[in-house]
Every structure is written in structure tokens, then in C-alpha cells.
Amino acid sequence: MIPYEVEYLRASSVQQALSVLAQNPEAKILAGGHTLLPMMKLRLARPGLLVDIGRLPELRGITVHEDSVSIGSATTHAELEANAELRQLAPLFSRAASVIADPTVRNRGTIGGALVHADPSADWPAVVLALGAEMEVVGEQGTRRVPAHEFFVGFMSTAVAPDEVLTRIRVPLPVPGRVAYRKFRHPSSGYAVAAAAVAIEAGQDGYAWGRIGITGVADAAFRAREAEALLEGNFTGLTDRVDAIVDAAFAEVSPLEDNFADGEYRLQLGRVMLKRALLDALEPLG
């Protein structure tokens, strides 16, 4: 289908975008467009004005600080995959980016657009949850930071208000030393039918802890906190606890259902993806 007629404004700054959003309740932020435009074609979204922030230099790029990595919300999936410094410090980004959709989407789509759109089958939500990231959100009242576990509030819904803009994603350093991402791709869209991101840290004393992000299975991406509790303990015993960790992750989940995967099948895929991700993360370091 062809998108309907809509007004378009290329913002010259974040402040201009915020001003337009405040004055026009029908306005919608456009970043890469690879999530919003398909919804407009299907008439699932009908903004009256698109405010394009995808080319703002202040929203692009990856900056390494002493205690964190800052990623501009308009940074593309391909940039996240290719950045050598990010691959070294937080390899989960390149691993997830490499399996997003196809090269066209990876070169145009942005991490911020994907996060704010909050499709329940998107890849980035699982990654930012597993890495304990914070979202920097700007409105006319100022800037605030929202932890990833508070950011996704429901089906295609986030903590970003209609008159706010997600500007940066901040990932604390150091990132846990063992990370993995496993995904079952939808054969048509490339979205995750089920996917799991895992980040595990094992200290010198042998004590381990970690975070797990799940996407594709429920109506919003989520931290598997009951499962994370079972990650804590002696690292050498984690392999023996993998099945219990997987059971705990999905014990209370109400799965999505669609024409491709019913609830039972989707839960089973989630279990398999998480188990594989855990085993990947627990492999001996070379």
C-alpha cells in the first residue's frame, strides 16, 4: 500500500522538534522510518505531520566515556554493527545488529526509532535490557534518564511521552564479560519470533551474576528477573542450572499468538533461544 498524504518537516535541531511536538498533537517523530512508514502504509498509524530527526548530527554517533558508552538515537543498525570500539567494549550490539532484517533496513533504520516504536518482536529491547542501559529522554521540561527495565511499558508503548524525544542510549561500563544473543527470525519480516539476550559477569572469586532480556514472546520485551536470580552464585555450577533458569524465565509469561506462531510454539521457541544464548555465554573463553 502507498502511504497517505502527510506533512513533512526536517528538524534543524532537537529543540525545534520538541517545539513542533508541543504545538501539534498529530506530529510524529521520524528517525530511520523503517518501523513507522510500514505502519503508515497499513494505516495502523496516521500522523498528520512527520518531524524528521534522522539527520541531526547531535543524535548520531557513538561516544565512549570512562564509565559508559553513549549512543545517539539516530545511529543506524549498520553503524552499531561496524563500530570497532563498540564491538570491543559491548559486543552484544554488533551481534544483534548483524541479524536485524536485511542490509537496507540496517543501513537506514535507527536504534532510537526501533526502541521508541517498541515492537514486541524488535531486537534492541532485549539488548538494552540485558546490558542495563538507560534511555536519555528530552522534553521541553528538561532531560531525564529512564532505566531500560522501566522503558517498555506495554504493547508498542514506552515511557517516552508524545512531546518528548529519545536522544541517547547510555550503556554502563564495563559490560559483563560474557554476552550472547540468539534469535529465531520470522522468515518474511526478519523480526524476532523469539529472541534472548544474555549478559553474565563472573568475578575473580567465582561469583556470577547476570541479566536476561527477552523479546518476541510477550506483548513487550522484558527482563527475566526470576531467572536472573538463579544466575547468581558459583559460576562453575551455572551450566547445571541452565534448565531451571529457562523454566523460571517463562513461568509467568502470557505469549503472543499470530498466524505464524501460536502461544505454545512461541514459548517453546523462547525457551530454546534462551537456552542456546546461556550456553553460548557459558562457553570457555578462548
What average pLDDT score do residues 118-145 get?
A: 97
pLDDT bucket at 242, cuts 50 / 70 / 90: very high
The answer on pLDDT for 145 being more than 50 is yes
Residues in the chain: 286
Can you give the pLDDT at residue 256?
Answer: 97
Is the pLDDT at 73 greater than 80? The verdict is yes
Three-state SS sequence of 90-145:
CCHHHHHHCCCCCHHHHHHCEHHHHHHHCCCCCCHHHHHHHCCCEEEEEECCEEEE
pLDDT at 216: 98
Q: What is the pLDDT of residue 1?
A: 60
**b/e per residue, 62-97, with b = 16+ CB within 10 A?**
bebeeebbbbbbbbbbbbbbebeebbebbebbbbbb
Whether pLDDT at 286 is above 80: no
Structural domains in the chain, sorted by start = 7-52 (3.30.43.10), 57-172 (3.30.465.10), 178-282 (3.30.390.50)
* Separation of alpha carbons 13 and 43, rounded Å: 29
Who has greater pLDDT, 74 or 140? Answer: 74
pLDDT in tens, 172-190: 999 999 999 999 999 998 9
